Amino acid sequence: MSGRGGLLLHALTTGMELSWLCAWATFATIGTFGRPFPLVEASIAFVGAFVLTRLSSGRGWRVVWVAGVQAAGLLGASSGILHGLYYPGHPLLRQAWLRDLLGAARSPV
């Protein structure tokens, strides 16, 4: 198979995997929270994880640096998804939505 065909196959399988993950996440969040999963934020997190993994692998970095980069990526992706799930109308880079998220009283359910 040529390099271009392999790239197309890889892109198609990645898109299929992303669509299945998004379908299950939407099904689970509608059932538990009553609102759909933020697909744009999840897609950005998926692509961001791919980019961070490609940037940090095979560079000869120390394990602690790779873990730090991955932890920063996980924190950014989690905050983006939580923002899209609970406060989609607020700007992402404002701290007001984060204070509301952490300070809100929620039921144990």
pLDDT in tens, the chain (109 residues): 566 778 888 888 988 888 888 888 888 888 888 888 888 888 888 888 888 888 888 888 888 888 898 899 999 888 888 888 888 887 878 888 888 888 877 776 6
- Please tell me the predicted confidence (pLDDT) of residue 71: 92
Measured distance CA(8)–CA(29) in Å, rounded: 31
Residue 106 has what DSSP assignment?
-
User: In a 3-state reduction of DSSP, which class is residue 37?
Assistant: coil
**CB-CB contact of 22 with 46 (8 Å):** no
User: In a 3-state reduction of DSSP, which class is residue 108?
Assistant: coil
- Please tell me the predicted confidence (pLDDT) of residue 82: 85
- Please tell me the predicted confidence (pLDDT) of residue 3: 65
Tell the burial category of 50 from Cβ atoms under 10 Å away from its Cβ (0-12, 13-18, 19+).
exposed
- Please tell me the predicted confidence (pLDDT) of residue 1: 53
User: In a 3-state reduction of DSSP, which class is residue 28?
Assistant: helix
CB atoms closer than 10 angstroms to residue 37:
20
